[in-house]
Amino acid sequence: MGTAYTLKFLWAPLVDRYAPGLLGRRRGWMFVMQIALAAGIMAMGLLSPAAALLPLALLALAVAFCSATQDIAFDAYRTDVLRKEERGAGAALSVLGYRVAMLVSGGLALILADGWLGWGRTYVAMGLLMLLGAAATFLAPEPEAAARPPRTLGQAVAEPLREFFGRPEAWAVLALIVLYKLGDAFAGALSTTFLIRGAGFTPTEVGTVNKLLGLAATIVGALAGGSLMARLGLYRALMAFGLLQAVSNLGYWLIAVAPKSVALMALAVGVENLCGGLGTAAFVALLMGLCRQEFSATQFALLSALSAVGRTYLAGPLTPPLVDSLGWPGFFMLTVLIALPGLALLRWRRRDIERLDRD
């Protein structure tokens, strides 16, 4: 399922080039995909894995594709419709919506399936909830100044790359996208493993703190980040929130060296998620600022895929051997240092980032 989100940049040019013929270029794609998702999810609830495994698997694949396509269109719509001063708030509300959706489709769906509706009817209920998203899309406004789409599919593929790499700061910005949340990615890759196996907390304790306090802290951090960005501006918000992201990893170091304490664990997880929410809001606003409206679907999909490189190809493979060689305290201290090159690069390219607030 997650592969569709990783590879969505491959068909993002189609979203830039073509429009479904209703509700505009971005809202049209969102609306069509949301209707398709509602139908697909409800249909999954009507199939039995024992009797129709292959149709169910194919339907799940189609749902994943439609969901990733909706994601492409929504990222482009958000980029196109928000003014510069609204990007921080827009990014924050996106994080809020994503977290609430994860809570509803995860925890609430499990409760409904286990004690109320059963799995089939729960899928139907989730499909009906998707129709609420389609209604919101129908009522949403169009961008104040709609950009002209690329004239051909070839232009939709080539022009976003040509435009971006024609900027003198392109390679430095790409490096910044990879490095900015790298320390956060390294710390988060094994945080649950550390709390259970390294610090000795029970899965129930860790799950309760992560699901409740961690979720709440992330939402508060994202909303606070969106509010503060309006006052600080993009560069200062990225720098301040990036520093907080780095320092917050020391909470896990403190757990590793201090006596076992649920209160300390809750405080460290809460602070780390709060600072991560701040950094995410600023980072999403940065990605929006880097996209041109004509090709925002393709450019945002490419940049967001690039932002996952550090988490997928660096943090994932490297964290276990680092823990083996450094131990937990040394590893979490290292995650703070890993965050510093991204902040140094941000300081070096300050003028480029500040220009995004002016242009």
Which domain-ending residue is among 82, 110, 139? 139
Is 189 found in the same domain as 121? no
Is 193 found in the same domain as 107? no
Question: Can you give the pLDDT of all 359 residues of the chain as single tens digits?
Answer: 567 777 888 899 999 998 887 888 899 999 999 999 999 988 888 877 777 788 888 888 898 899 999 999 999 999 888 888 888 888 888 877 777 777 776 666 667 766 677 777 888 888 888 898 899 999 988 887 777 888 888 888 899 999 999 898 889 999 999 899 898 889 888 888 898 888 888 888 887 777 777 778 888 888 888 888 888 888 999 999 999 999 999 999 999 998 888 889 889 988 988 888 888 888 988 999 899 888 899 999 999 888 887 777 788 788 889 999 999 999 999 999 999 999 999 999 899 888 887 76
Q: Is residue 148 part of a domain?
A: no
Q: How many beta carbons lie within 10 A of that of residue 79, not counting itself?
A: 24
Q: Is residue 147 part of a domain?
A: no
Q: Is residue 167 part of a domain?
A: yes
Q: What is the pLDDT of residue 2?
A: 62
Is 244 found in the same domain as 96? no
Is 192 found in the same domain as 107? no
What is the 3 state secondary structure string of 176-196? HHHHCCHHHHHHHHCHHHHHH
d(CA 159, CA 162): 5
Tokens of 70: 């909706």
Q: What is the pLDDT of residue 109?
A: 66
Q: Are 19 and 29 in contact (CB under 8 A)?
A: yes
Host domain of residue 194 = 153-358
Which domain-ending residue is among 82, 114, 139? 139
Is 297 found in the same domain as 224? yes
Tokens of 4: 């569709």
Is 328 found in the same domain as 180? yes
Is 227 found in the same domain as 104? no
Rounded to two decimals, the pTM is 0.85
Is 178 found in the same domain as 95? no
Residues 6 or more apart whose Cβ sits within 8 Å of residue 132: none
Is 169 found in the same domain as 134? no
Tokens of 73: 């269109």
Tokens of 198: 């390294």
Tokens of 58: 């194919």
Token pair 């080039």 is at which residue?
Answer: 17
Is 126 found in the same domain as 15? yes
Is 253 found in the same domain as 217? yes
Q: What is the pLDDT of residue 305?
A: 86
User: What's CA 59's distance to the chain center, in Å?
Assistant: 24
Which domain-ending residue is among 139, 171, 202? 139
Q: Is residue 144 part of a domain?
A: no
User: What's CA 303's distance to the chain center, in Å?
Assistant: 12
Q: Is residue 230 part of a domain?
A: yes
Q: Are 121 and 257 in contact (CB under 8 A)?
A: no
The pair phi, psi for residue 18, each rounded to 5°, is -110, 155
**CATH code (residue 354):** 1.20.1250.20
Q: Is residue 314 part of a domain?
A: yes
Long-range contact set of residues 254-262: C-beta below 8 Å, sequence gap at least 24? 255/194, 255/195, 255/199, 256/194, 256/198, 256/199, 256/327, 256/328, 256/329, 256/332, 257/329, 260/199, 260/200, 260/201, 262/201, 262/205, 262/209
Show the DSSP H helices in 195-315 as ranges: 203-208, 215-232, 234-248, 250-257, 262-290, 296-307, 309
- Domain total of the chain: 2
Is 55 found in the same domain as 12? yes
Exposed e or buried b for every residue in 101-126, given b needs 16+ CB within 10 A? Answer: eeeeeeeebeebbeeebebeebbbbb
Exposed e or buried b for every residue in 250-282, given b needs 16+ CB within 10 A? Answer: bbbbebbeeeeeeeebbbbbbbbbbbbbbbbbb
